[in-house]
């Protein structure tokens, strides 16, 4: 099982990624061993995650979310499906 996740960084920035082990990936981000983007913005917390059936689906989901505006990502995190559809 693969997951797409959104991290909220200490400075409020959002980071989108995918992984098969969210706990291990979160630990790597907070240890400064993952993305350069999050290394400079620690600590990070998981703001959102969703399961995908395989790597290809997770990568596609990650790419889709990365193209979204900040407002649309926030609507996803908040679970506001009506706003998400409007945006």
Q: What is the DSSP letter of 87?
A: -
For residue range 46-83, what is the model confidence (pLDDT) as tens digits? 999 999 999 999 999 999 999 999 999 999 999 999 99
How far is 62 from 55, CA to CA, in rounded Å?
10
pLDDT band of 31, cuts 50, 70, 90: very high
- The answer to whether 63 and 43 are in contact (CB under 8 A) is no
What domains appear along the chain, each with residue ranges and CATH number?
A: 2-86 (3.40.1440.10)
Q: Quickly count helices (H) and strands (E) in the chain.
A: 5, 3
Contact 3, 20 (CB under 8 A): yes
CA distance 2 to 75: 22
């Amino acid at each position: 099982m693969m997951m797409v996740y959104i991290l909220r960084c200490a400075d409020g920035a959002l980071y989108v990624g995918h992984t098969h082990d969210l706990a291990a990936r979160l630990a790597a981000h907070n240890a400064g061993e993952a993305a350069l983007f999050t290394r400079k913005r620690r600590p990070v917390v998981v703001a959102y995650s969703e399961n995908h059936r395989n790597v290809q689906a997770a990568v596609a989901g990650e790419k889709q979310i990365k193209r979204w505006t900040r407002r649309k990502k926030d609507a996803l995190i908040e679970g506001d499906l009506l706003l998400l559809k409007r945006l």
